[in-house]
Chains A and B, each alone.
Chain A
Amino acid sequence: DSGVTQTPKHLITATGQRVTLRCSPRSGDLSVYWYQQSLDQGLQFLIQYYNGEERAKGNILERFSAQQFPDLHSELNLSSLELGDSALYFCASSVTGLAAIYEQYFGPGTRLTVT
């Protein structure tokens, strides 16, 4: 158990809908990262937050957004869902992400199925 929790574990929804994925980082970790895992694209970085502020953006669609709250949990919002958004979404956390690289620990993921 990495200490990173994600809810829900599974999510099934229809095209055009909006969903919210939630992540709680390990105790003491200030950085949260979101990754998408699909069969064709592999594991891809979406976005990073550090202590409530957006730190970096990767291959994140404009239909997707995220935020990190004062208690450090993070939410990934996916809107106007398309079939191609079906994937595993992982959250990872690390102690910090400013002055040095620290290990990233992954949660169990949320499997999103868009029908």
Chain B
Amino acid sequence: GENVEQHPSTLSVQEGDSAVIKCTYSDSASNYFPWYKQELGKGPQLIIDIRSNVGEKKDQRIAVTLNKTAKHFSLHITETQPEDSAVYFCAASNSGAGSYQLTFGKGTKLSVIP
């Protein structure tokens, strides 16, 4: 089955700096890669996603890049703000497998220092 590795497990940045979180996946058939933000006591919130036919996607301060050859994808947050502090999860899914279950990375705890 699919295996998703996520790094780093914790990340501290100064407010205004950029943050980058990286994930690798094992199943070359995976074709959908969402990112979720989870705040304390809440459920994961979808913040951006990318499909395998696209190399990069941007939404305001958030961007995701995908390298299918290397089987890795990354989340970039620019101009970080204290409210960006949360745990971020990457995930992968394969529509050809008949189910669209998400396989998650272990998460990255991002702390933005004011």
Which residues does A use to contact B, with CB under 8 Å?
A: 2, 4, 31, 33, 35, 42-45, 48, 55-56, 58, 90, 94, 97, 100-109
Known contacts A101-B95, A101-B100: A106-B44 contact under CB 8 Å: yes
- Measured CB to CB, the closest approach of chain A to B32, in angstroms, equals 4
- Is A108's CB under 8 angstroms from B43's CB? yes
Residues of A within 8 A of B93 (CB): 101
Which residues does B use to contact A, with CB under 8 Å?
A: 31-32, 34, 36, 42-46, 49, 51, 89, 91, 93, 95, 98-107
Known contacts A42-B107, A100-B95: A109-B101 contact under CB 8 Å: no
Residues of B within 8 A of A31 (CB): 100
- Is A97's CB under 8 angstroms from B104's CB? no
- Is B46's CB under 8 angstroms from A45's CB? no
CA of A106 to CA of B37 in the docked complex: distance in angstroms?
Answer: 11
- Is A104's CB under 8 angstroms from B43's CB? no
Q: A104's contact among B31, B46, B103, B106, by CB below 8 Å, is which? A: B46
CA of A97 to CA of B43 in the docked complex: distance in angstroms?
Answer: 21
Known contacts A48-B100, A90-B43, A97-B100: A103-B34 contact under CB 8 Å: yes
CA of A34 to CA of B59 in the docked complex: distance in angstroms?
Answer: 28
In the complex, which of the residues A44, A94, A103, A104 has the most CB atoms of chain B within 10 Å of its own CB atom? A104
- Measured CB to CB, the closest approach of chain B to A3, in angstroms, equals 11
